[in-house]
Chains A and B, each alone.
Chain A
Amino acid sequence: MSILPQLLFVLILGAAGYILYKRVSFLRRNIFLGKKETRNDQSDKRWKTMLLVAFGQQKMFKRFVPAFLHLLIYVAFAVINLEVLEFIIDGLTGSHRIFAPFLGAAYGVAMNVFEFLAIAVLVSCVAFLIRRNVMKVERFTKPEMKGWPAMDANLILVIEIILMFAILTMNATDQLLAERGVEKYTLLNGLVFSSLIQPLFANMSDAALIAIERFAWWFHIVGILGFAIYVTYSKHLHIFLAFPNTWYSNLKPKGEMQNMDEVTNEVNMMLGIASEASAEPPAEIGRFGAKDINDLSWVNVMNAYSCTECGRCTSECPANLTGKKLSPRKIMMDVRDRADEVGKSIDAGGPGLEDGKSLLGDYITKEEINACTSCNACVEACPVNIDPLSIILQMRRYVAMEESGTPAQWNAMFQNMETSFSPWKFAPTDRFNWADQVKSEEVK
């Protein structure tokens, strides 16, 4: 028995591990291009949120059909990956189905479960391909989905289908070989699903079967490693990031906008109110609001990498529904693409953030952010608790306070508020006039 396959396996595993390590470091560094923000309070509630929303897929089930199909793929992914452990041990030691003798009959049951899940994934992926490409569900065909995002989604589905076929082919040929008593192959009692495709291979020679079985085995494991690397370039990162992303969810009421303490200091100084912070020297003068990804919080950037472009946010956005340019999904995709661009530039020794471009302007326009009604429909809709609204409002702050670039009608509203303490131009002394009528009625 040659040791070559084992050597090859070690090499492939090592190379995949190295690439993955580089990719994870890249993503991690990109996320931390965002500003520091501490969100470690209420850890009980955070674990609970993660369990319900990420692990339990709670918010997915607002739309039952895709949620159910997605659940099948999710469970299959988690369960079938147990088998990857066996693949790796087999690959390293040259053994074959090393767990089979230890688990006895349970092994056969497990394999049947895996095969059932493989079929479930096949069905779900085909259904998803149909939803995207034949039914053309509206949220999958918005302008921001043109090109790579649509391709990315289809590629993932196709890869998953091929990987599942590899498992079934491997099991079918493996069992044919076992039935023929070929050395090393273990007969498992009745693999329900793969036996259905056995007739395809029944007339082949042992050698041909071994070749197919080995090819399917290698294809599957290399495919999984390749897929793991692919995921880091893809919207599919949500399979990992959904967990930290939900842990770091915003637990405050959705209507609350984060206070800008740097502004509070200045307001207090202007009004002559002593505050705890005003005694300290002013911190490093940063920007008000967000122009680029480094003005956002790291949680905002992690949100962007967690987005799987499902578009539930956009499909519930009142602005988008009525034909405005704003799409919360596009906001998230833009943040991610900008973070990627900056990260790549830094790694190539380039200018990074100083490349003359910025998130607001080159990726996101004022027309988009101005159309937001801050209604929180996007935040509510997101299955992994992404908060596009926070990013939109931070950019509005930049436009208002750094560029004085808000629409003229808003400037007029600001002026009214400054002069008459109301967004409308009414005399503040008239504020109580409504009471005249009540009083006169009471006199009657």
Chain B
Amino acid sequence: MAEMAASGESPEILFWVGCAGSFDDRYKAVTQAFVKILNKVGVSFAVLGPEEACTGDPARRAGNEFLFQMQAVANIQVMNGYEVKKVVTACPHCFNTIKNEYPALGGTYDVIHHSQFLQELINKGKVVLQGGGEFKGKKITFHDSCYLGRANDVYEAPRDVIKALDVELVEMKRCRTKGLCCGAGGAQMFKEPENGKKDINIERTEEALATGASAIAVGCPFCLTMMTDGVKNKEREHDVKVYDLAEMIAKDMGI
């Protein structure tokens, strides 16, 4: 972003990478896949790079409002400084926070999740799919992330993206408004769960495996981690893969 601003360019969108997208080895691949799609399609975009900081979502959900607002205000100052109008992110937590919670602190942007952005690209014919590639005809199930689904009522965009791949989309018993959390939201990603009889991601993974799908599609870095761990726990990593939507599209496009 800094480079573009220095050369007087103002990109159409800001791609908010998020901490997982920047640091988590698995999710970095998602960031790369999404960026390749953007480059291929020729979308004018920028990232903040080292100027980006955590949105503050986990701090706020863990109760630390001060820390949240410090992070938020710093981010808003950066974004307002670059006169950012439109933000796209591959993380539902970042999406929810920037879209719904930054306006109260002076940061109002048009924020969309990458599933919505991909859906737009497909609908506009900018992304032309090759018919599913390795996914063609396979059973794929989609795991709703809470912060995309219930929190923001985005249920169909990710499904439309998957369907565009010419696959068989199979639903889990609990889906859409009734979707079961992967267990990582509300800052749970950053601590061990409380005592109980089972981990939430195992419960959810069992449900996903019960569909007989060969891949579990997600749209959230935390869900990706939790479901991947769940599949490993069930020793099914050889025949069931967990992918982000952007990865599936990029694979199909051969990039």
Give chain A's interface residues, CB within 8 Å of chain B: 62, 252-257, 259-260, 263-264, 266-268, 270-271, 273, 288-289, 316, 318-319, 321-326, 367, 370-377, 379-380, 393, 396-401, 406-407, 409-410, 412-414, 417-418, 421-424, 426, 428-435, 437-438, 442
Contact = CB atoms under 8 A, between A and B. Distances in A.
Nearest to B21: A434
Which of A253, A373, A376, A393 counts the most B-chain CB atoms under 10 A from its CB? Answer: A373
Dominant SS among interface residues on chain B: helix
A438 B31 CA distance: 10
Contacts of B73: 267-268, 271, 273
A431 B50 contact: yes
Interface string B168-211: 00000000011111011111111111111111101110000000
B237 interface: no
Given A257-B101, A400-B62, A421-B71, A377 B150 contact: yes
B23 A431 contact: yes
Given A267-B73, A376-B151, A377-B181, A371 B193 contact: yes
A367 B65 CA distance: 20
In this complex, the member of A62, A375, A380 whose beta carbon has the largest number of chain B beta carbons within 10 angstroms is A375
B61 to A, nearest CB: 5
Contacts of B194: 319, 324-326, 367, 370-371
Contact of A322 (B31, B185, B198): B198
Interface residues of B, number: 72
A377 B186 CA distance: 13
B69 interface: yes
B203 A321 contact: yes
Nearest to A407: B191
Nearest to B188: A373
B47 interface: yes
B115 interface: no
Contacts of A434: 17, 21-22, 28, 31-32
A285 B32 CA distance: 48
Nearest to B102: A259
B44 interface: no
Contacts of B6: none
Contacts, number: 220
Contacts of B183: 318, 322, 373
Contact of A422 (B54, B61, B181, B189): B54
A296 B181 CA distance: 26
Contacts of B71: 417, 421
A428 B22 CA distance: 10
Given A257-B101, A410-B191, A319 B54 contact: no
Contact of A316 (B59, B66, B178, B203): B178
A273 B195 CA distance: 43
Given A322-B199, A376-B146, A423-B190, A399 B63 contact: yes
B49 to A, nearest CB: 4
A164 to B, nearest CB: 35
A322 B181 contact: no
Given A273-B73, A434-B17, A322 B197 contact: yes
Given A322-B196, A373-B186, A424-B19, A254 B150 contact: yes
A400 B63 contact: yes
Nearest to A429: B50
A257 B67 contact: no
30 contacts: A253-B153, A254-B151, A257-B60, A259-B105, A263-B65, A263-B69, A264-B69, A267-B73, A318-B181, A319-B196, A325-B194, A370-B191, A373-B183, A375-B185, A375-B186, A377-B178, A399-B63, A401-B63, A410-B190, A413-B58, A417-B54, A417-B59, A423-B54, A423-B58, A426-B23, A431-B23, A432-B47, A434-B22, A435-B35, A435-B47
